[in-house]
Amino acid sequence: MKESDGGKIIIKVYDGMGGKGIVVAYRDGHEVFVKRKSVVCTLDEFELNHPAIVQDYVRQHPSLEAYSPSCNTVRVVTLLKRDCSDVLIIGAFIRFGVGASDIDNLSSGGIAAGVDVASGGVFDTAVDYAGNVYSQHPVSTLCFKGLSIPYWEQLVVLSKKIQWQFPFHKLLGLDICITDSGPVLIEINSEPDMVALEMTYGPILLREEVYNEFKSYDLLLNEPSRNLKFCTN
């Protein structure tokens, strides 16, 4: 903890989902405290009952910190093409914590906005898991319109590089934090939440190249998707 950024570490239950089981341990003076959601206890009072992963605290880019002090990660969903010729970025969104939460997951009370995969520009509105729409962050009141993800090109390169390392997992959801010096991988999800992706980014099969890859993998599971037609100019 002495060597971590800001005297903080993240403790994550290894099989947790949706931000569940994540706690933050931090030093205040000579004492160490542990925060789980809004509940704080001393290190002596804290009990860890499951195997966990300990990670250094990552300090995010100031432009994202301004929206929320939680680690506001970008979820990037990658797909290895069937012929292994390329990696597609099939969608992306950025998540923001709300209130005093250290967690940005939608299922844990956060909000999220889609990100244009070509430019890194954030969509004008965000949503929560109930489908409520926000043009600005509910606490900081900063508008999402005009926000761009710093180091977007580097993030895309990193995402594709990671997918190449996992040819046995054709589809990955990557959680990436943007720092002052560039993107940092936080977590790899082998079964990413596609509902959250389409809530924020939009229907992924509307992109013809994504549709064709899903078709090649025989992932078009219903008649409407199999009969989808694309206009050609």
**pLDDT tens digits along 108-151:** 678 999 999 999 999 999 999 899 999 999 999 999 999 999 99
Residue ranges of the chain with per-residue pLDDT less than 70: 1-6, 14, 16-20, 100-108, 231-233
What distances in angstroms separate CA 194 from CA 21, 116, 155, 203, one per listed residue? 21, 16, 20, 10
Residue recorded with tokens 């299922």: 107
The class of domain 59-226 in CATH terms is: alpha beta
Q: Region of 196 please: left (phi>0), alpha (psi -120 to 50) or beta.
A: alpha
Per-residue confidence (pLDDT) for residue 1, from 0 to 100: 55
Q: Look up residue 82 and give its two tokens.
A: 């069937």
Spatial distance between the Cα atoms of 83 and 9, rounded to a whole number of angstroms? 41
| Residues whose CB is less than 8 angstroms from the CB of residue 158 and which lie 6 or more positions away in sequence, other chains included | 176, 183, 185
pTM (2 decimals)?
Answer: 0.84
- Residue 8, H or E segment: strand 8-13
Cβ-in-10-Å burial (0-12, 13-18, 19+) of 93 comes to buried
Query: Could you tell me the residue ranges of all domains in the chain?
Result: 1-57, 59-226
